[in-house]
């Protein structure tokens, strides 16, 4: 062992000078190579081992597996001097750095010599449909940043062999991470088949993409009879006589084996076998670029989807964790950057650690919901750490900014903060402490204008009455604040166009300046939605929105695969229906449904002055082999469907495909005349058949996690009818608003230089969304994305 570690130190010290030298071979391993340039082409055997984070094992097992694999591959480098090894995922490198610094030091030495390639550039081999565009960007930011810090270089090959589909914007994200090449396996290009091609994003950013042949995929042993024809296949497709093989056992680690490397040495002397090169992955891409035919490689301009569609919905808990983590980190970073501009500290280390936890949870077996139960317990613990971090730094940053806010005035002041970078109007719930009870509340804006307000709850404690109320904050400043005051009142505010609720038989009819909404009493569902502003009946006669359905599924491969058995149970009978609230701001209706052993309590909210209808579901979910969806039918004719995707909005089919990935919203529009959007706060799957949208809510899976989604779930979604298409209706912005609500911030009474309202950051371009405002990682500047 002492001799081995002495060699490690020698590698570290001498690596730059030794970069072009080869270690002497052990006796008996010498081979005679034939001349290069075989007519059978060239095969690149690149060592790699796929290590799944926390798939069917926990993190200690994952880290141990990665470490063991690394040691094995390092040992093979002594015996086989042509062998090169490549490995991904900065999170795993950091684990071995902490647990086994001597092995980590040897890896650094081999990286410096060119024998070990840092691959992928990501913190984890992420899923691509669940994380937001910003989430994917951070996975690369912290992966490449770690590689640069520890190894003095970054990855040049994006590497996501096992991710369940590839988002349209990934080539641009890769380019921004200084990666020009991409390796993937699932969802290959077919009809025509391309294994090597240019994959192009909407802005024309492109990467040279390669997907392996089906046999072995990214977990290959040496299989001469099968692999010898790979170069010829690529030649016929793309014009270069070469192919790439990821060599090594994977999933639970392993890597290349002695038997494989011995077989390769023998094949190097076979004149009928392709020329063999053992290199880092980047060498294959560089060689392919150098030999690109004059006509160029094929160009693919689309997303690479779909597979394992059940993963868009399975394990709703991890989906909510990821969405909430992204939202809270955005707010914490933005406020911290603004506070830093005004003399506050910027919490680099804490924010970086929280984003790394988020990027870990994005892993392609964790985010899709296809791991064992303990994985989700660990993910929940990571989320608690993230939430502690974001809460702390939101409060710390706000305490710096709040000093500049003028909160003086008559009544009890409260401050609202709008986290998005455009002016908005949205409902908000606020709690204010009063010295005594009051039957009504008068809320005034900085101009002294009273706003309609509705009391929701009262709680007496510590000699005060804490009153929670709701109102609609109109034209809130972009990424800014406004001070309001609340005072006791003797009556509600008189309105010329109030919200009203009337009854006709078992139907409740809600009328607002925007809508007429009929709530069907027996079902608790919306049976009519009339858009008064645009004179449009949104729902077909006889059909209802906010209708839940339970679809029966078969049992095989349940976490991954949707396998419908043809049974459908519509939750059309409310076991309990209540009118919970009617007031000047909103009406609220609640219906309770049971199906199997599960209970669903759905609240529907209609606001005065807000052009959408909201729903909140509290589910106690206990059933297996069912798929729960919420149905929104429309009267649109031959609509076009558009879905939110990472850093993009993508048009998709309305052919009723079993499930398709979405993020914050989906939309169907009839040209630029009229459309309907469905917004959500934590869901990622949907289907669209003609003019009917169905949002995927929960799946009753039982493998590999035997518990699956059993338990309590909170789901918020909303129906947003609109004139024009999704662009004219600002649906992208509406989706962000639904996820980044206006929030009440702490305040005390004092004067302030900034006054009673202020926009701290804004964009005047309607097609621009700011997804990050932060301090730069490696300079004194700021990053705006």
Model confidence at 241: pLDDT above 90: yes
What's the rounded mean pLDDT across residues 579-598? 98
CA–CA distance, 197 with 300 (Å, rounded to integer): 7
Residue ranges of alpha helices (H) inside 280-404 are: 281-290, 316-341, 348-361, 373-402
pLDDT for position 779 = 81
C-alpha to C-alpha distance for 499 and 133, rounded to whole angstroms? 39
Cis peptide leading into residue 335 (ω within 30°): no
| pLDDT score recorded for residue 37 | 62
CB 23 within 8 A of CB 81: yes
Supply the pLDDT for residue 555: 85
* Predicted local confidence at residue 177, as pLDDT: 98
Nearest residue to 297 via CA among 391, 375, 397, 182: 182
Q: Beta strand 743-745 with 412-418: parallel, antiparallel or unpaired?
A: antiparallel
Contact (Cβ atoms closer than 8 angstroms) between residue 127 and residue 163: yes
Residue 59 sits at φ, ψ, to 5 deg, of -65, -40
pLDDT mean over 478-493 = 98
Query: For position 14, what pLDDT does the model report?
Result: 37
Candidates 600, 672, 593, 592; CA nearest to 640 is 672
What's the whole-number mean pLDDT along residues 139-164? 98
Structure tokens at 534: 């645009």
Beta strand pairing call for 674-680 and 692-699? unpaired
Q: For position 581, what pLDDT does the model report?
A: 98
User: Which of helix, strand or coil describes residue 638?
Assistant: coil
Task: Encode pLDDT of 428-447 as tens digits.
Answer: 999 999 999 999 999 999 99
Residue 183 has pLDDT above 60, yes or no: yes
Task: Considering only residues 529 and 26, tell me which one the structure prediction assigns the higher pLDDT.
Answer: 529
Query: 774: which 2 tokens?
Result: 């932060």
Q: What is the band of 19 on the pLDDT scale with cuts at 50, 70, 90?
A: very low
User: How far apart (Å, rounded) are the C-alpha atoms in residues 515 and 743?
Assistant: 26
pLDDT score recorded for residue 253:
81
| Four-residue CA torsion sign, 434, 604, 327, 772 | negative
Pick the CATH number of 39-300 from 3.30.420.40, 3.20.110.10, 3.90.180.10, 3.40.50.720: 3.20.110.10
Residue 738 has pLDDT above 60, yes or no: yes
| Residue 524 burial by Cβ neighbours in a 10 Å radius (0-12, 13-18, 19+) | buried
Parallel, antiparallel, or unpaired for β 42-48 and 242-247? parallel
**Minimum mean pLDDT among 257-266, 503-512, 640-649, 771-780: which range?**
771-780
Is it the case that residue 415 has pLDDT exceeding 80?
A: yes
Q: At what angle do helices 90-99 and 133-151 cross, to 10 degrees?
A: 40
What kind of architecture, by CATH, is found in domain 500-723?
Distorted Sandwich (2.70)
| Same fold: 404-494+747-785 with 500-723 | no
Rounded to whole angstroms, how far apart are CA atoms 615 and 90? 40
Whether the predicted pLDDT of 6 surpasses 70: no
Please name the CATH architecture into which domain 308-401 falls: Up-down Bundle (1.20)
Q: 782: helix, coil or strand?
A: strand
pLDDT of residue 528: 99
Tell me, what's the pLDDT at 213?
Answer: 86
- What is the rounded CA–CA span in Å between residue 249 and residue 328? 39
- Please tell me the predicted confidence (pLDDT) of residue 36: 56
Whether residue 760 is predicted with pLDDT greater than 50 in this model: the reply is yes
Q: What is the mean pLDDT of the chain?
A: 95
Predicted confidence band of residue 2 (pLDDT cuts 50, 70, 90): very low
For residues 118-132, give the mean pLDDT: 99
For residue 745 the two structure tokens come to 């911030």
pLDDT digits 0-9 by tens, 20-36: 333 333 333 344 444 45
Band (pLDDT 50/70/90 cuts) for residue 694 is very high
CATH (one of 3.90.1010, 1.10.357, 2.60.120, 2.60.40) for 404-494+747-785: 2.60.40
At 71, list the tokens.
Answer: 């040691």
pLDDT of 762 above 70: yes
3-state secondary structure of 294: coil
Percent of the chain whose pLDDT exceeds 90: 92
pLDDT tens by residue, 363-379: 999 999 999 999 999 99
**Which uninterrupted H or E stretch holds 410?**
none
pLDDT, average across residues 395-420? 98
Give the span between the Cα atoms of 618 and 685, in whole angstroms: 19
Return the pLDDT at 551.
98
- Output the CA angle 276-278-282, nearest 5 degrees: 115
113 is written with which tokens? 């010599």
Q: Where are the domains of the chain?
A: 39-300, 308-401, 404-494+747-785, 500-723
* Nearest partner of 633 among 532, 527, 544, judged by Cα: 544
Instruction: Identify any residues that bridge with 537 across adjacent strands, giving them in sequence order.
Output: 530
DSSP-assigned beta bridge partners for residue 585 = none
Segment 542-568 shows an average pLDDT of 96
CA 180 – CA 170 distance, rounded (Å): 11
pLDDT of 79 > 60? The answer is yes
């Amino acid at each position: 062992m002492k001799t081995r570690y002495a060699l490690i130190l020698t590698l570290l010290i001498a690596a730059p000078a030794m970069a072009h030298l080869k270690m002497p071979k052990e006796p008996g391993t010498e081979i005679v190579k034939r001349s290069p340039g075989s007519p059978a082409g060239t095969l690149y055997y690149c060592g790699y081992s796929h290590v799944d984070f926390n798939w069917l094992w926990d993190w200690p097992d994952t880290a141990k597996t990665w470490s063991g694999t690394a040691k094995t591959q390092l040992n093979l480098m002594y015996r086989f001097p042509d062998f090169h090894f490549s490995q991904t995922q900065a999170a795993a490198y950091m684990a071995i750095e902490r647990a086994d610094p001597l092995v980590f030091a040897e890896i650094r030495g081999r990286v410096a010599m060119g024998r070990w390639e840092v691959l992928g550039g990501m913190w984890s081999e992420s899923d691509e449909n669940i994380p937001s565009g910003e989430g994917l960007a951070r996975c690369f930011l912290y992966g490449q940043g770690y590689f640069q810090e520890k190894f003095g270089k970054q990855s040049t090959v994006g590497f996501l062999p096992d991710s369940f589909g590839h988002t349209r914007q990934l080539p641009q994200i890769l380019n921004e991470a200084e990666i020009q090449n991409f390796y993937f396996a699932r969802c290959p290009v077919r009809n025509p088949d391309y294994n090597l091609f240019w994959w192009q994003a909407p802005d024309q950013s492109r990467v040279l993409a390669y997907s392996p042949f089906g046999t072995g995929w990214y977990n290959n042993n040496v299989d001469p009879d099968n692999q010898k024809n790979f170069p010829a296949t690529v030649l016929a497709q793309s014009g270069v006589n070469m192919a790439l093989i990821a060599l090594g056992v994977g999933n639970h680690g392993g890597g290349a084996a002695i038997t494989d490397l011995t077989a390769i040495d023998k094949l190097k002397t076979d004149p009928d076998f392709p020329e063999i090169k053992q290199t880092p992955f980047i060498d294959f891409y560089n060689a392919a670029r150098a030999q690109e035919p004059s006509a160029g490689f094929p160009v693919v301009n689309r997303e690479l989807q779909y597979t394992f569609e059940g993963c868009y919905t399975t394990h709703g808990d991890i989906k909510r964790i990821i969405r909430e983590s992204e939202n809270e980190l955005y707010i914490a970073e933005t406020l911290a950057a603004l506070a830093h501009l005004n003399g506050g500290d910027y919490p680099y280390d804490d924010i970086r650690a929280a984003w790394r936890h988020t990027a870990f949870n994005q892993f392609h077996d964790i985010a899709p919901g296809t791991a064992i139960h303990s994985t989700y317990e660990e993910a929940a613990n990571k989320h608690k750490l993230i939430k502690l971090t974001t809460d702390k730094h939101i409060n710390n940053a706000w305490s710096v900014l709040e000093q500049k806010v003028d909160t003086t005035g008559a009544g009890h002041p409260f401050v609202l903060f709008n986290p998005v970078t455009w002016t908005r109007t949205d409902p908000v719930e606020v709690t204010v402490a009063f010295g005594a009870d009051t039957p009504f509340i008068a809320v005034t804006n900085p101009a002294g204008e009273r706003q309609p307000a509705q009391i929701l709850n009262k709680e007496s404690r510590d000699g005060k009455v804490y009153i929670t109320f709701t109102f609609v904050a109109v034209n809130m400043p972009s990424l800014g604040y406004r001070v309001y005051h609340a005072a006791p009142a003797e009556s509600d505010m008189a309105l010329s166009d109030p919200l009203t609720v009337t009854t006709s038989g078992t139907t409740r009819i809600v009328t607002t300046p925007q809508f007429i909404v009929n709530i069907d009493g027996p079902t608790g569902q919306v049976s009519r939605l009339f858009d008064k502003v645009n004179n449009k009946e949104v729902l077909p006669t006889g059909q209802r929105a906010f209708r839940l359905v339970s679809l029966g599924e078969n049992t095989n491969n349940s976490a991954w695969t949707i396998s419908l058995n043809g049974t459908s149970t519509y939750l059309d009978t409310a076991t309990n229906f209540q009118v919970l609230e009617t007031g000047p701001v909103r009406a609220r209706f609640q219906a309770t449904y049971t199906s199997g052993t599960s209970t669903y309590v759905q609240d529907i909210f209609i606001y005065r002055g807000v052009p959408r209808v909201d729903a909140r579901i509290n589910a106690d979910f206990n059933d297996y082999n069912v798929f729960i969806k919420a149905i929104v039918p429309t009267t649109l004719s031959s609509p076009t469907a558009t879905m939110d995707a990472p850093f993009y909005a993508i048009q998709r089919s309305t052919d009723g495909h079993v499930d398709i990935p979405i993020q914050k919203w989906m939309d169907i529009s009839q040209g630029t005349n009229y459309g309907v959007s469905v917004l959500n706060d934590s869901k990622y799957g949907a289907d669209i058949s003609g003019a009917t949208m169905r949002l995927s809510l929960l799946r009753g899976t039982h493998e590999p996690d035997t518990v699956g989604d059993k338990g309590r779930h909170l789901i918020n979604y909303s129906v947003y009818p609109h004139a024009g298409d999704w662009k004219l209706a600002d649906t992208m912005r509406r989706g962000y608003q639904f996820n980044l609500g206006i929030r009440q911030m702490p305040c005390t009474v004092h004067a302030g230089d900034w006054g009673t309202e202020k926009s701290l950051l804004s964009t005047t371009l309607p097609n621009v969304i700011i997804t990050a405002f932060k301090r730069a990682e490696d300079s004194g500047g700021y990053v705006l994305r």
